[in-house]
């Protein structure tokens, strides 16, 4: 209706009719899925798919942007620019097996992983996408649990899930359920954390126990019969990171130590900044159960996956103050200074062992544990 007449009869914008227009734009939904299992029809683009989207996704994610069911979510650039001057974008796919494990599930993992990948760049995470590839025959009840878990985690992190996609494939074409999430955030003006900024003299900090997620998945697969269950450390870190940045806006490097563990991240920093990362084995927080499992299975906790652990390289003069503040946050109670940055050997990571020796810690070669995240 782009004509002068249409323009002439256009109502004058007032707060009330903007609210009314918004409400009309969000279509009312009452469709329900009344079967127990996903069928190919749920991915067909027809009524069954529409009902699934309305009932399971739109109903749970409860986002105005998603409810409009446009082909894309839309954002006001002015609103985004309040948070900073750079947009951050990331994406990740989740294929973890099993889907449910102590302390989490694939949905919690998907939201956490994407939020954390934005947050460790200093970004304020804002919006997420959710794409699912579902195997025919998957239980709707399990799908509901996973979507609810995604919503709870998103709420906790203060992000909205604003657009998505659903595909259903024949039995055997995927194993139960795969999820892809992408995320958008905004980086504040003052923040510049990149892997090439570590400098000799900097201090290495970690926010708690290493290797819990990897160990929890091994445990959940029933490969060990442990006396005490190990829970994943899966948690969003954006709040802790914002707190850290208020104490020290010039943190040099930060990454979350997911697949490949802390060894991989430290190697990335050492290579990226052309410096050496020196860590002390005795300072590394590792749970007794995780250490025990590693000894039995011949795993190295330095390479075990984490889903709620960050490594920060910080200027030495801020290290103690940062540590103190991190310990006041629920995601940083067990934070520790685990080492320092030195000049040489350039590009290397060296572990000072508890026995007084030194060993080089290389990048992970091959796969220690498949389908961990």
Rounded distance between C-alpha atoms, residue 17 and residue 56, angstroms: 30
Tokens encoding 114:
């994407």
CB of 194 to Mg ion, least distance (A): 13
Among positions 51, 54, 55, 117, the unique one binding Mg ion when judged by CB under 5 A: 117
DSSP, res 139? B
CA angle, 101 then 107 then 111, to 5° = 120
From the list 117-125, 126-134, 147-155, 160-168, the region that binds Mg ion by CB under 5 A is 117-125
CB of 256 to Mg ion, least distance (A): 4
160 vs 258, which CB is nearer to Mg ion?
258
DSSP, res 226? -
CB of 348 to Mg ion, least distance (A): 22
CA angle, 306 then 177 then 364, to 5° = 30
CB of 225 to Mg ion, least distance (A): 32
From the list 31-39, 109-117, 236-244, 271-279, the region that binds Mg ion by CB under 5 A is 109-117
65 vs 256, which CB is nearer to Mg ion?
256
**Who's near 133: CB < 8 A, 6+ residues apart?**
167, 168, 169, 174, 177, 178, 179, 180
55 vs 117, which CB is nearer to Mg ion?
117
End-to-end CA distance of the chain: 49
Rounded distance between C-alpha atoms, residue 203 and residue 19, angstroms: 51
Asked if residue 253 lies in contact with residue 197, where contact means CB atoms within 8 angstroms, the answer is: yes
136 vs 256, which CB is nearer to Mg ion?
256
The contact pattern for Mg ion, residues 27-66, with x = CB under 5 A and - = no contact, is ----------------------------------------
From the list 1-9, 20-28, 115-123, 209-217, the region that binds Mg ion by CB under 5 A is 115-123
CB of 90 to Mg ion, least distance (A): 8
Q: In the window 255-294, what residues touch Mg ion (CB under 5 A)?
A: 256
117 vs 307, which CB is nearer to Mg ion?
117
For position 219 contacting Mg ion by CB under 5 A, the verdict is no
Q: In the window 62-101, what residues touch Mg ion (CB under 5 A)?
A: none
For 17, 254, 290, 350, the CA distances from 360, given in Å and listed in that order, are 66, 21, 22, 5
Tokens encoding 64:
């105005």
CB of 284 to Mg ion, least distance (A): 20
51 vs 117, which CB is nearer to Mg ion?
117
Tally of CA atoms within 13 A in the half-sphere of 161 that contains its CB = 29
90 vs 160, which CB is nearer to Mg ion?
90
From the list 26-34, 110-118, 242-250, 346-354, the region that binds Mg ion by CB under 5 A is 110-118
219 vs 256, which CB is nearer to Mg ion?
256
CB of 373 to Mg ion, least distance (A): 10
Q: How many CB atoms lie within 10 A of CB 15?
A: 7
Phi, psi of 83 (to 5 degrees): -85, -20
Bridge-partner residues for 86, per DSSP? 187
Summarize as ranges the residues that interact with Mg ion (CB under 5 A): 117, 256
């Amino acid at each position: 209706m782009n004509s002068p007449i249409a323009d002439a009869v256009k109502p004058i914008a007032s707060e009330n009719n903007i609210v009314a227009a918004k409400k009309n734009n969000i279509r009312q939904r009452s469709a329900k899925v009344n079967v127990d299992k996903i069928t190919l029809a749920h991915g067909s683009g027809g009524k069954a798919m529409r009902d699934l989207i309305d009932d399971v996704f739109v109903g749970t994610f409860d986002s105005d942007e998603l409810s409009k069911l446009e082909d894309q979510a839309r954002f006001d650039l002015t609103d985004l620019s309040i948070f900073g001057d750079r947009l951050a974008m990331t994406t990740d796919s989740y294929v973890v097996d099993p889907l449910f494990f102590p302390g989490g599930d694939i949905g919690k993992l998907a939201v956490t992983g994407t939020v954390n990948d934005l947050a460790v760049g200093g970004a304020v995470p804002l919006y997420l996408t959710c794409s699912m590839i579902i195997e025919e025959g998957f239980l709707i009840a399990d799908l509901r649990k996973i979507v609810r878990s995604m919503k709870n985690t998103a709420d906790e992190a203060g992000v909205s899930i604003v657009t998505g996609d659903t595909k259903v494939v024949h039995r055997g074409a995927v194993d139960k359920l795969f999820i892809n999430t992408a995320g958008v955030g905004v980086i504040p003006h003052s923040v510049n954390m990149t892997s090439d900024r570590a400098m000799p003299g900097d201090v290495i900090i970690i926010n708690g126990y290493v290797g819990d997620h990897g160990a929890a998945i091994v445990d959940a697969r029933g490969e060990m019969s442990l006396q005490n269950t190990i829970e994943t450390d899966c948690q969003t870190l954006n709040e802790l990171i914002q707190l850290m940045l208020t104490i020290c806006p010039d943190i040099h490097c930060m990454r979350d130590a997911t697949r490949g563990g802390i060894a991989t991240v430290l190697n990335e920093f050492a290579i990226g900044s052309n410096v050496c990362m020196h860590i002390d084995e005795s300072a590394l927080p590792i749970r007794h159960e995780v250490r025990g499992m590693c000894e039995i299975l011949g795993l190295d906790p330095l390479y075990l996956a984490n889903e709620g652990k960050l490594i920060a390289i910080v200027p030495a003069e801020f290290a103690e103050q940062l540590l103190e503040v991190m310990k006041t946050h629920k995601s940083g109670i067990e934070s520790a200074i685990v080492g320092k940055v030195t000049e040489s050997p350039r590009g290397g990571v060296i572990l000072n062992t508890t026995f007084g020796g030194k060993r080089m810690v290389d990048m992970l070669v091959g796969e220690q544990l498949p389908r961990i995240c």
